[in-house]
Amino acid sequence: MSVEVVMPQMGESIAEGTISKWLKQVGEKVERDEPLLEISTDKVDAEVPSPIAGTLLEIRAQEGETVEVDSVVGILGAEGETPASSNGGEAAEVETEAANDNKGIVEVSEHPMKPDDAKVTEVAVEETVQAAPAPTAPDETGTSGGEATEIPMPQMGESIAEGTISKWLKAVGDTVERDEPLLEISTDKVDAEVPSPVAGTLLEIRAQEGDTVEVDSVVGVVGAKGSSVASPPAAPAPPAVAETAPQVPVAAAVEQSSSSNGRDKSLGEQSIEDLRKTRSSPLVRNIAKEHDVDITQIPGSGMSGRVTKKDILSFIDSGAAVKPQDLLNQGTERTVQASEPKAEMPQPQSQTQTQSIQTQGYKAPNVTSGVGDTIEQMSVMRKKIAEHMTFSKQTSAHVTSVYEFDMTNVAKFRNTKKAEFQERYGTKLTYMPFIFQAVTNALREFPVVNSQVSGDQVIYKGDINLGIAVALDWGLIVPVIKRADSLSLAGLAQSANDLADRARTKKLMPDEVSGGTFTITNPGVFGGLFGTPIINQPQVAILCVGTIEKRPKVLTTPDGDDVIAIRQMAYFALTYDHRIVDGADAEKFLSFMKNYLETTEFTL
């Protein structure tokens, strides 16, 4: 029996991918979930894991070829088996053995690829021995022959390794249509609904509301009413570390950390414990790289011992992670140990040491509830926001500058054009597209504000991707307008309104909440004058827009007379990372924006 490997859907807006590299050759064996090939799209580079254990029988798309999503790129099966002919990219059909062979029928059940999945569809292969070889006709629910389809936790982005079940929208025994929302999940990037891959009945719920599970873990089962549910395969018991290192299947999520983290060993030389700990998200590995932390030093609290973001931040805050100084560059052999007294450390102190001293000895006060108090568990999104904001304050040196802008020029143009704009483009013309346009022009003028920090390097981003903070009833999310500087006023308005609307209905894709280079938040919509927001890491600045309202303003006439006029005024506050952005750069940035908004002759 052969199984087709297809080009996966790496995001809703991605229609094709390029084969970067085949990691296996025809005739080589591959384990289930072992990386099989590497692909590139205009959004992301990724490894495609093998859907089954077997042998690579055929390569249908060579390295360098660009193929459409769902096109067959290779064939897997048993050693010596003849590959089945392609069926146009649909689910792999199984060759039925001869009727007198009496070996039964092998069926392949496939989970259809959801648009936000970032990994190849997992194909569940089950063998059922039957007396007659005739195929079973589909039943009224749309599932065939009592087959049950497992619902995996989807991959919601390249850097996301787990998700939390927020809410089951169906109960066991409820019927569900194909593509009907089945459950809601939360990750540290986005909240989303998971649609049912098939029509049928929810037979089993394996992960309850509030449970956090790894990507590809089975959370439920859908099938025909009365279908038997196959028991999930038991996880193999890990061999003792003292034994000779066995051949361990490596999941696609396992990646080598950088050499600065001490991860120079090949996968085959790593112990089971090492492999589990390096199954961390790219975010965790980036934090480890920035702080020169060896992940294997950290006890992981995640599934299978995986190191989570909370684990590594706690490890850094504890003072156990001390960044070595540049003594080795001077020929000194001295190694800085975490246990050395802080007073003996070379000066100036590293960022990690400073954080450790600031938090050393601090203990959160005990909080007790009283009569009339209401206790509510933090949502996943709220906990992630808290972690991200705290991490940002510990990382960047926050400074805020505030300017007052005269928005009368923008207000006059908007008032005369908003009806025409609504009729022509089908969306509202707010003040924000004008501000977006001013920001993109200012970022081109002062690229340091559109930069990011990586260790001791400053990366000046080529694209301008604007994050727009959207307030939700259950938290805050920051969708991103990609390449905002290439859009017109109308394009900015349409993109922003579309992203905000879909954020409030949980319809955003993973790539739409990542990749931002600068963020704008608008508390002014609620009436706030200005704020001092926290930088959205790894960015170096965030702009806060205050309410736009009529205020008296002193103006000077062409004759030199001072008069008081009623103008549309607003405060703009720029919070920036003073490690990278100097005060002069921030002031020039705001001054450029002020002049742009007050004097530009806008057009639709």
Catalytic residues: 578, 582
Q: Does residue 470 contact residue 479 with C-beta atoms inside 8 Å?
A: yes
The three state secondary structure string of 504-527 is HCCCCCHHHCCCCCEEEECHHHHC
Instruction: Please give the structure tokens belonging to residue 148.
Output: 């049950």
Q: Does residue 548 contact residue 431 with C-beta atoms inside 8 Å?
A: yes
Instruction: Give the whole-angstrom CA distance, residue 572 versus residue 320.
Output: 40
Instruction: Please give the structure tokens belonging to residue 25.
Output: 């050759």
Residues 6+ apart with CB under 8 A from 404: 569, 570, 571, 572
DSSP calls for 150-165: EEEPP--STT--EEEE
Q: Does residue 530 contact residue 538 with C-beta atoms inside 8 Å?
A: no
Strands 518-521 and 466-468 come out as parallel
- Beta carbons within 10 angstroms of residue 335's beta carbon: 9
Distances (CA, A) of 520 to 142, 412, 501: 47, 23, 17
Q: What are phi and psi of 499, to 5 degrees?
A: -65, -40
Strands (E), 478-595: 480-481, 518-521, 541-545, 549-556, 562-577
Residues 6+ apart with CB under 8 A from 286: none
Q: Does residue 252 contact residue 45 with C-beta atoms inside 8 Å?
A: no
Cα 67 versus chain centre, distance: 25
Residues 6+ apart with CB under 8 A from 399: 575, 576, 578, 583, 586
Tokens 């308005």 found at: 493
Identify the three-state secondary structure at position 297: helix
Instruction: Give the whole-angstrom CA distance, residue 23 versus residue 167.
Output: 39
DSSP calls for 343-375: GGSPSSPPHHHHHHHHHTT--PPP----TT---
The three state secondary structure string of 303-339 is HHHCCCHHHHHHHHHCCCCCCCCCCHHHCCCCCCCCC
Instruction: Give the whole-angstrom CA distance, residue 481 versus residue 465.
Output: 6
Instruction: Give the whole-angstrom CA distance, residue 186 versus residue 450.
Output: 29
Residues 6+ apart with CB under 8 A from 135: 96, 105, 145
N- to C-terminal Cα distance for the chain?
A: 59
